[in-house]
Amino acid sequence: MQPHALIRCSWGASAVKNGKQKFFTCLFLLALAATAVYGAFSAREDTAALMNVSWSSHTVILDAGHGGEDGGAISLSGATESGINLAIAKKLDGIFGLYGVQTVMLRTEDVSLHSEGASTLREKKSSDLQNRVARISSFEDATLISIHQNSYTGGAQYHGAQVFYANGELSRPLAERTQNVLRETLDPSNQRTVAPVPSGVYLMNHVSCQAILVECGFLSNPEEDRLLQDSGYQTKVAAALAGAYLQDRCAISTEEEGA
């Protein structure tokens, strides 16, 4: 397992100086994710069920899309999608760590995951995707969250996060929860709805687990370009994704107990 990279709520002698800052950062991240989680629960028994879920019994695979030579979309200000994807994935990993969720990050640096034999950019992209699929498929019971950014070359008018899902009803409930939480916490005016992942998305169409792909916003929109490069906004996105996942696992746990 990859260690949770963002923050750890444990204090050693070397951390005393910055202990207060780390402590309040932990509280802030927990509060953000908790807001996303509890917002969907109204009944007392539902919130009680949330506290009884064993978060460590299921693995979440975090895929920061693109990487290395494949930078993905380029924002209006020149930022690469791959770097933004990785920043959000790391923050999401850190929040999951606070809840004890087991995670695996497919990449922790801005690199391609291609094999050594790949030489051209096309070969590297193909090898990278095949290696990601192989890593994901090595886990029997997992959830894949693939993080991306959208872009539209025809203008700056489009905005808003959108969630795509693979494997039908296995993933659709998580996608819908994620879309709802992103709307409620980031942009109430966002009217986008979930959709099956397009057939041309190789990775999502070659995995069999619960899997969603999140387009966090449009790099071709000036306002979202600015927001998606802001560390605080990235944390809000990550907290929304964490909250939606925790909601979903709680719902699954409740269904299993009632079966």
5 occurs within a structural domain = no
Q: CATH code at 195? A: 3.40.630.40
- Judge whether residue 13 has pLDDT over 70: no
2 occurs within a structural domain = no
Question: Which pLDDT tens digit goes with each residue over 133-147?
Answer: 999 999 988 999 999
What integer pLDDT is reported at residue 251 of this predicted model? 86
1 occurs within a structural domain = no
**Average pLDDT over all residues of the chain:** 86
Concatenating the DSSP letter of every residue in the chain gives: -PPP-S------GGGSTTHHHHHHHHHHHHHHHHHHHHTT--SHHHHHHHHT--GGGSEEEEEE--BTTB---B-TTS-BHHHHHHHHHHHHHHHHHHHT-EEEES-SSS-----TT--SHHHHHHHHHHHHHHHHHT-SSEEEEEEEEE--TT-S-----EEEEESGGGTHHHHHHHHHHHHHHH-TT-----EEPPTT-TTGGG--SEEEEEEEEETTSHHHHHHHT-HHHHHHHHHHHHHHHHHHHHHHHHHHHH-
Question: Which pLDDT tens digit goes with each residue over 93-118?
Answer: 999 999 899 999 999 999 999 999 99
Mean pLDDT of 83-102: 95
6 occurs within a structural domain = no
- Per the structure, the count of domains in the chain is 1
7 occurs within a structural domain = no
**Domain range holding 116?**
13-258
What integer pLDDT is reported at residue 201 of this predicted model? 97
Split at pLDDT 50, 70, 90, the class of 56 is: low
